[in-house]
Amino acid sequence: MSDIQLWTTIFIVLSFGTYIVIAWRSRVRETEGFYVAGHGIPTVANGAAVAADWMSAASFISMAGLIAFLGSDGSIYLMGWTGGYVLLALLLAPYLRKWGKYTVPEFVGDRYSELVRTISAGAAIIISFTYVVGQMNGGGIVFSRFLGMGINGGVLIAGAIIFTYAVLGGMKGITWTQVAQYTVLITAYLIPAVAVAQKITGFPIPQVSFGQILDELNALGTDLGLNEYTAAFTERPQIDVFLVTMALMIGTAGLPHVIIRFYTTKTVRGARYSAFWALFFIGLLYTTAPAVGAFTKFNLLEGVENTPVSELPQWIDNWAATGLVSVAEDAETIQSVGNDPASGADLIVNNDILVLASPEIAGLPAPIVGLVAAGGMAAALSTAAGLLLVISSSVSHDFYFRRIRKTASDRERLLAGRIAMAGAVVIAILAGMNPPAFVAQVVAFAFGLAAASFFPALVLGIFWKRCNAAGAASGMVAGLAVTITYMVYTLEVFGTSENDHIFDISPEGVGTIGALVNFVVAIVVSKLTPPPSATLSEMVENIRYPAAKRRVPAGRDG
């Protein structure tokens, strides 16, 4: 066993053991603890759990790699995801917490109708499965490189660990496990970033020092057949940059697994303060990611530029065994670098390995390499657990309890939730073994689906009393239909062939179009059909304003 494998094993065993112990000590026996942790999570802890739940394998493993190859255009992920979280915290989370239910479909069902609840539960399952595929694949990548096993075997192990602690503790166990996972992932992200910044620039604050290498990075990229790193709209058309950023932003505000985290606080005020702490914890990683992308690409290009294939650095051989790095068979000297096998470059490097490989590329010691591997697993596991809980709650609470067996006891509902989670883990493992794209791209598809379905329904449900069940149901179905159809059309999924983008709109950005369709259809149908009842309008008014401060004129319909 190499030093890297030894240290990786040590860190992963210690961290996994910690997660299992926390889940065991936090195990629950009632549905309220399983779904919303008994509404008893302290503010700061909930903020850390929100950050871990939201910062997935896409944020830790893949985002900096995409920034490295997309350059300036990679800012879509930074702007979309962080901006969307602010939108969620200010626009939706406090109102949904005041409603005080278990799931997002439950709010939608109370606000509109049981039909809309069923549609939204189905949407939550589709979104969560799409999202969890990226997490499972990210876990498989970590195991493949650092523990010397196949990606599929790594996906199996990751799924087994998630199932164990998620089923034991439900939301309560997941929350406290995510606090530990956030500690691991942020430590694993910052230590290598600081070390690399010090090594390259002599200044250990990566958020500041990476600016010193941008001119040289532009020159290196140009020499190796790449676009200038700082040039805008070189990898994506301007319209698509806007659409993807918007889809990620409003998709974040509509993600069920992030929204339910605000149901776990003790009060509405606690939900607001949780949002502040979560944004702080998220900002630590997101302000570092551009530096990690720039430093890693700089070390990569500098280490291979005009280098004979026989003299390439050892890390390339290490990662070539995973199939995520390859050298062209006819290449003698590296003259070009790419991330797409169709580019014809001499050296092909998968986006998803750059953060995990950055300590090796920079020549950092084995303990840091092992720590980064543990951080990548923490990021994948933390988000996957939250997603599986959404799937479980949608199946057991919104379908089974609400639609099939309304007399089910608390114990029976809890058992149904755990069985649903077991089924979800199996399907997620199978899908994670064969994802349709890079980790961050797969996750972006989930954000697009959330943007096209939940965001319009939630915004209209809170801020426009005239919106009714017919409008919400029609809007969600239309938005999802447009988004899913276009994704299937442009991607190689379900046996379909890949087609050209229409009007330069990528599948990651079509969620913005789907959301617009949802809004328009919901508003038009609502106007053409009878308004909601006065009782329902009063309920909507109540979540926005305290009763003592409201003055609702007679006959007002919003």
pTM of the model: 0.83
Given a cut of 60, whether residue 390 has pLDDT beyond it is yes
Asked whether residue 508 is domain-assigned, the answer is: yes
Pairwise pLDDT comparison (35 vs 141), residue with the higher score: 141
DSSP one-letter string for 483-521: HHHHHHHHS--TTPPP-PPGGG--TTTHHHHHHHHHHHH
| Phi, psi (deg, nearest 5) at residue 112 | -115, -80
Q: Give the residue from 476, 478, 522, 488 showing the smallest Cα distance to 118.
A: 476
Asked whether residue 72 is domain-assigned, the answer is: yes
Q: How far apart are the first and last CA of the chain?
A: 68
Asked whether residue 326 is domain-assigned, the answer is: no
Cβ-proximal residues to 534 (8 Å cutoff; 6+ apart), any chain: none
Q: Hunting for tokens 């702490």 — which residue is that?
A: 277
Q: Give the residue from 102, 37, 108 showing the smallest Cα distance to 401.
A: 102
The stretch 538-554 carries a mean pLDDT of: 66
Pairwise pLDDT comparison (361 vs 493), residue with the higher score: 361
Question: Around Cβ 274, how many Cβ atoms within 10 Å?
Answer: 29
CA-to-CA distance for 378 and 180, rounded, in angstroms?
9
Of 259-273, 300-314, 530-544, minimum mean pLDDT range: 259-273
Report the percent of the chain where pLDDT is more than 90.
Answer: 32
Pairwise pLDDT comparison (40 vs 395), residue with the higher score: 395
Tell me the pLDDT band of 460, cut-offs 50, 70 and 90.
very high
**What is the structure's pLDDT at 461?**
93
Asked whether residue 386 is domain-assigned, the answer is: yes
The total of structural domains in the chain comes to 1
Q: What residue type is 29 in one-letter code?
A: R
What is the pairing mode between strands 325-327 and 337-338? unpaired
Given a cut of 70, whether residue 328 has pLDDT beyond it is yes
pLDDT tens digits, 288-303: 999 999 999 999 999 9
The sheet that has 347-349: what strands, in order across it? 325-327, 347-349, 337-338
Given a cut of 60, whether residue 494 has pLDDT beyond it is no
Asked whether residue 47 is domain-assigned, the answer is: yes
Asked whether residue 420 is domain-assigned, the answer is: yes
Q: Which domain holds residue 30?
A: 3-295+364-546
Q: Give the residue from 50, 517, 34 showing the smallest Cα distance to 270.
A: 50
* Geometric angle at alpha carbon 367, from 361 and 371, rounded to 5°: 85
- pLDDT, mean over the chain: 84
The stretch 413-431 carries a mean pLDDT of: 81
The stretch 49-65 carries a mean pLDDT of: 82
Inter-residue contact 171 to 37 (CB < 8 Å): yes
Asked whether residue 327 is domain-assigned, the answer is: no
Asked whether residue 255 is domain-assigned, the answer is: yes
**What is the structure's pLDDT at 269?**
77
Tell me the pLDDT band of 515, cut-offs 50, 70 and 90.
very high
Inter-residue contact 319 to 4 (CB < 8 Å): no
The CATH number linked to 100 is 1.20.1730.10
